[in-house]
Amino acid sequence: MRIDIISLFPEFVSQIAGHGVVGRAQERALLSLHGWNPRDYAEGNYRRVDDRPFGGGPGMVMMIDPLRDCLAAVRLADPAPAKAIYLSPQGRPLTQAKVRELAAEPRFILLCGRYEGVDERLLAAEVDEEISIGDYVLSGGELAAAVVVDAVARLQDGALNDAESAAQDSFEADGLLDCPHYTRPVEHELGDVPEVLMSGNHAQIARWRRQQALGRTWLRRPDLLDEAGLSKADRELLEAFKAENPG
């Protein structure tokens, strides 16, 4: 998959994306990232990319033409059609379902705004969707773009070493939070590893993990349970969890 990132700091995103799973996905040619700077498409000695907002107010607004020319160059660089996605707090919230959808695309473009935003006319004409990574304001879209790149990269076939682990993630299987995980030592002053995990009984372990996932979701994100479509067995596991862990 190919992701093009348009940003005044394109190296910022590629640096974040150079490590761990995303770095490996690039080494394995599962992902190619390309950074583009709208300043390279700006005119004049100052290569100006922003200007003051009409109507007054603080901050600067990114101008139409450098972004538009940059986008045109991005599109020309590869014949595959690509959605343009603008990262902004006004966008739709990023969910794992959206990540899966993007991960299946051959290519997309991430547009990072800076300052107070981007001229609305450019967004209306060139952007296919807006995505927010949460209800808070970042000083630019770069960190949000890095979040999208990471979440999408790890879903590429062959990006994770243990093919199982993405399927078991929070949200991935069925929109529930993940169960807790433990490793050595078995006994520690901070507590012991739950016995069931050492039982070797895979059915019991799977049942315990499912119950923990249900219980945690109930405790921490009860809103997700409404969407999860629990089976009768799930509801029984959850009732047993509630009885043992009164909220």
Burial 123-134 (b: 16+ CB within 10 A, else e): beebbeebbbbe
Regarding 132 and contact with ligand ADE (CB under 6 A), the answer is yes
Active site residue 89: yes
Active site residue 154: yes
Regarding 141 and contact with ligand ADE (CB under 6 A), the answer is yes
Regarding 116 and contact with ligand ADE (CB under 6 A), the answer is no
Of 63, 73, 138, 193, which one interacts with ligand ADE (CB under 6 A)?
138
Which of 146/213 has CB closer to ligand ADE? 146
Regarding 110 and contact with ligand ADE (CB under 6 A), the answer is no
Q: For the segment 76-105, give every residue that binds ligand ADE (CB under 6 A).
A: 87-89
Regarding 133 and contact with ligand ADE (CB under 6 A), the answer is yes
Q: Which stretch binds ligand ADE (CB under 6 A): 42-50, 73-81, 138-146, 222-230?
A: 138-146
Of 57, 136, 223, 229, which one interacts with ligand ADE (CB under 6 A)?
136
Q: Which of 69, 105, 130, 169 is catalytic?
A: 169
Beta-sheet pairing, 61-62 with 83-93: unpaired
Summarize as ranges the residues that interact with ligand ADE (CB under 6 A).
87-89, 132-134, 136-138, 141, 144
Catalytically active residues are 89, 116, 154, 169
